[in-house]
Chains A and B, each alone.
Chain A
Amino acid sequence: MNLDLRLDTSGDFYAQKFQPTKREDTLILNMGPQHPSTHGVLRIILEIDGEYIVRAQPVLGYIHRMHEKMAEVMSYPQYLPNPARTDYLHALAWGWAHVGAVERLMGLEVPERAEFIRVITCELNRINSHLLWWGAYLLDLGAFTPIMYAFDDREIIMDIMQRVTGSRLTYCYYRFGGVSGDIDDRFVSETREQCARMKERFKMYKALVTENFILRKRVEEIGEISVDTCRRYGATGPVLRGSGQEYDVRRAEPYSVYDRFDFNIPAYNDCDAMGRYLVRMDEMQESIKIIEQALDALPEGDFIHPKAPKRAKPPAGDVYFAVEGARGKIGMHLVSDGGKSAYRLKLRAPGFSNLSLFGEVSQGTLISDAVSILGSLDLVIPEIDR
């Protein structure tokens, strides 16, 4: 009797739809949705040949909350805290994309001081996001100590942010036409202190981790992604820059006051996990450069436009607003019919596009390398599932 156990009808909907190939020596394996290296609830169905991946298919939706429907039900100010809940690590960039889209549609002006405050806080948040990625990625690869150092730095930044924004992780700080509260001298001096401290820490990180032989064995020449693959899948952010393409929304499509600052867009031609690692390490230093320039040039004035509407009601129209998040291009496509809530708000999550190339890139790699590739994509599952 010829019984093919791989055509077992057990398993859920997705496992049954994931038909094995004609090969007889492969095995179907579920990775996640509770696997520690997936950081949340990502599930990947793998067809493996020994330790090698033949085919991989991510299964999404375990933390789907329908933020797009909420945008149609809630009024614009009610929706303000929502974007932060999609990507909890770079909450401010998502909030910015939302207020930016509404401001663009209303033609609302933002005072210069508010723009500077947005840049400073958003960049602090970006450093925080990259630090957590750094710690967690190394944890995946078996190094426990770095996450302790990362959280040490994060803690200080979160304390600074808590005083002005009122929260530590899911910030709701930006308003239509400005920010909810002004920054004070203590914020400025503490931020400067932290910037100076971080510069020393980066040197230590480089000596302790980046040049570590064991790490390099795990990331160099692993998960090579070409620029064309990024283009076909729409991958952006450090994933694209790690492939050597200098594309950053802050430069390509300048919003706010980013065109006034002098900063580099780090890019590495290696195309591997190490390239993406180095891009993020360099980006934190570029963020510090931006913060210091913004603090030096911080203008006086209002932190919110005096005529900013309490209850925004944009005219009918269709706008797209994109910002550079820690994971790539965050886009909001807002369509309004002139009502109190959006007619349609489409969220573009950078992680969604970045993860979609995993199926292609992981083919033929070892399972342990797939963990390294997944980590180097810097996935935040609530952002992908929305």
Chain B
Amino acid sequence: MSDQAEKSVTAPEKEEAAKTEEKVPLYTGYDLDYFVTPKDLIDAVRKLDQAGFFLEDISCLDMKEGFQLVYHFDRFDQPGRVGLRVMQDRENHDVPSIHHIYPGADWHERECFDFFGIRFKGHPNLLPLLLDPDHQGPPPLIKDESARKSLEELYPDRVTTPVNIEDEQFTREITNCSNPKYRNPS
């Protein structure tokens, strides 16, 4: 199939999706999604811990602005996914480790260290987890400079300024993060 034919097939799909988006925004899997500064991360994670969340995983992206770490949290009794995004400079890593709040983060952080070379501040045991300790060369998921995309390209029409986590609104939102619209589609 040529590229043109492919476009004609997917175009009506996109229009359909755009139409439904106006009524109910398409569920992206995140009930709440914030950008936070590395400085605020520990406090934000502590608030999530107090609200009974568990850590699903820590994902990382290589982009033009540096690295983006995405922490996924969810809750057992009142499900709802919260994403915390932290931007990291390519050279100076100042993101703190959260292993003392969530011990499960230990391995996730080591995985990010493996694949992206991110040095989490205060991590007790930052050794290669999945890669060979003798691995030479750059971390495998680092992109070529030409392949990196910027925040605007990957997240069009999104506010990427960090939120103020001291705000009451943040605490209130994460406490009531379950969106019934997404949780009970029927």
Question: A residues within 8 Å of B by Cβ?
Answer: 12-14, 17, 60-61, 64, 66, 68-69, 72, 101, 104, 106-108, 227, 230-235, 240, 245, 247, 252-254, 259-260, 307, 309-311, 313, 315-322, 329, 331, 333, 335, 337, 343-344, 346, 348, 352-353, 356-357, 360, 385-386
Contacts and interface: CB of A to CB of B under 8 A. Distances in A.
A31 to B, nearest CB: 18
B57 A14 contact: no
10 contacts: A13-B127, A107-B17, A231-B52, A259-B184, A259-B185, A315-B14, A335-B61, A337-B149, A337-B154, A343-B154
B170 interface: no
B106 A356 contact: yes
B79 A253 contact: yes
Nearest to A333: B59
Given A231-B54, A259-B186, A352-B107, A343 B61 contact: yes
Contact of B56 (A14, A68, A348, A386): A348
A245 B81 contact: no
A232 B56 CA distance: 10
A311 B6 contact: yes
Contacts of A107: 13-14, 16-17, 20-21, 26
Contacts, number: 158
Given A104-B26, A245-B76, A386-B130, 13 more contacts: A69-B141, A107-B14, A107-B26, A233-B103, A252-B76, A309-B9, A318-B28, A335-B61, A344-B59, A344-B61, A346-B59, A348-B57, A353-B107
B80 to A, nearest CB: 9
Contacts of A313: 6, 10
A240 B76 contact: yes
B149 A311 contact: no
Nearest to B158: A318
Given A64-B131, A254-B185, A311 B1 contact: yes
A252 to B, nearest CB: 4
B118 interface: no
B144 to A, nearest CB: 11
Interface string B10-30: 101110110011000011111
B138 interface: no
Given A234-B56, A333-B59, A360 B103 contact: yes
Residues of B in contact with A, size category: 35 or more
Contacts of B76: 227, 231, 240, 245, 247, 252
B133 A14 contact: yes
A252 B83 contact: no
A170 B134 CA distance: 31
B52 to A, nearest CB: 7
Interface string B24-56: 001111100000000000000000000011111
B137 interface: no
A343 B149 contact: yes
A318 B70 CA distance: 11
Contacts of A316: 153-156
A60 B60 CA distance: 20
B6 A104 contact: no
A12 B17 CA distance: 54
A206 to B, nearest CB: 29
A356 B108 CA distance: 10
B79 A106 contact: no
A324 B149 CA distance: 32
Pairs of residues from A and B, 9 with the lowest C-beta to C-beta distance, nearest first: A107-B17, A320-B29, A233-B104, A346-B59, A252-B79, A13-B133, A61-B130, A234-B104, A348-B57
B119 interface: no
Interface in B75-98: 76-77, 79, 81, 83
B128 interface: yes
Given A60-B130, A385-B130, A356 B107 contact: yes
Nearest to A312: B10
